[in-house]
Structure 1
């Protein structure tokens, strides 16, 4: 099923799975923040994260919505996500894929939900910015 989705679908579904709840809290910037991380990972270190934005999104254990045990996965794999929030995710995905998206997280390439205990990679790191319920970090050096 996942092979039939376009690059824009995969990026949009990642935004939907990771940040759809942010729309009600902070508006589009919550989706743009996650899109910025996808873009930054692809742009800064494609050799590790993936050669395309699609590969970045689907790299195992990078975006929890694609993990096998994540409750979002069944929804993300369905062929018919049609709500208004998904339409916004799709619009933002297309903007980033056309190189028109704006990096709203100042080069950040990692994030976590602030309501969870920080993951080990975030310990002793200084966040760049908080957007909604996500805290963003810049961990990769530009080459």
Structure 2
């Protein structure tokens, strides 16, 4: 459910193709150890989709400062209400399609993305940002997808 909520929070205003792309970034990160979280119970690396999504600073919707986090926490607690939300259902469908291989990865292995607006703002800023000096691999809707981010 955490992965579907991540897709919902990050891409609910996107097309189904855009949600599928975000789903694949989660799956692509789960394949790379550097994006794994740590299991609370054992302290060992955890490559589950939930651990990848909840790892600090990976998906901004789970950051303490993100206003969408409260909405996701509420939906997480009220599963029945979440499943009635069309955007939440579409996010879950994107995740299932990605996991089952029904839809190919439209990002071609991308692990990172941000909106065009956020990318342009970062490029104009004097502050360091992971996207500076990198060309995006492709754009789907308003999201720009990146490969090879260390």
TM over 0.5: yes
1:121 to 2:130 alignment: yes
Displacement after TM superposition at 1:94 (Å): 2.2
Report the counterpart of residue 97 of structure 2 in structure 1: 95
Report the counterpart of residue 17 of structure 1 in structure 2: 9
CA RMSD in angstroms comes to 1.6
Q: Work out whether residues 53 and 59 of structure 2, in 8 Å CA contact, stay in contact via their aligned partners in 1.
A: yes
Q: Aligned partners of 1:30, 1:109: CA distance in 2, in Å?
A: 14
TM-score by length of 1: 0.81
Displacement after TM superposition at 1:52 (Å): 1.3
Q: Aligned partners of 2:114, 2:149: CA distance in 1, in Å?
A: 16
Report the counterpart of residue 6 of structure 1 in structure 2: none
Aligned ranges for residues 45-56 of structure 1 at < 5 Å? Answer: 45=32, 47-50=33-36, 51-56=47-52
Aligned ranges for residues 1-143 of structure 1 at < 5 Å? Answer: 9-22=1-14, 27-43=15-31, 45=32, 47-50=33-36, 51-78=47-74, 79=78, 80-81=81-82, 82-116=84-118, 117-118=121-122, 120-140=129-149
TM-score by length of 2: 0.78
Mind listing any 5+ residue stretches in structure 1 that lack a counterpart? 1-8
Q: Aligned partners of 1:16, 1:10: CA distance in 2, in Å?
A: 10
Q: Aligned partners of 1:98, 1:85: CA distance in 2, in Å?
A: 20
Give the count of matched residue pairs. Answer: 127
Q: Aligned partners of 2:117, 2:16: CA distance in 1, in Å?
A: 20
Mind listing any 5+ residue stretches in structure 2 that lack a counterpart? 37-46, 123-127
SS at match of 1:69: coil
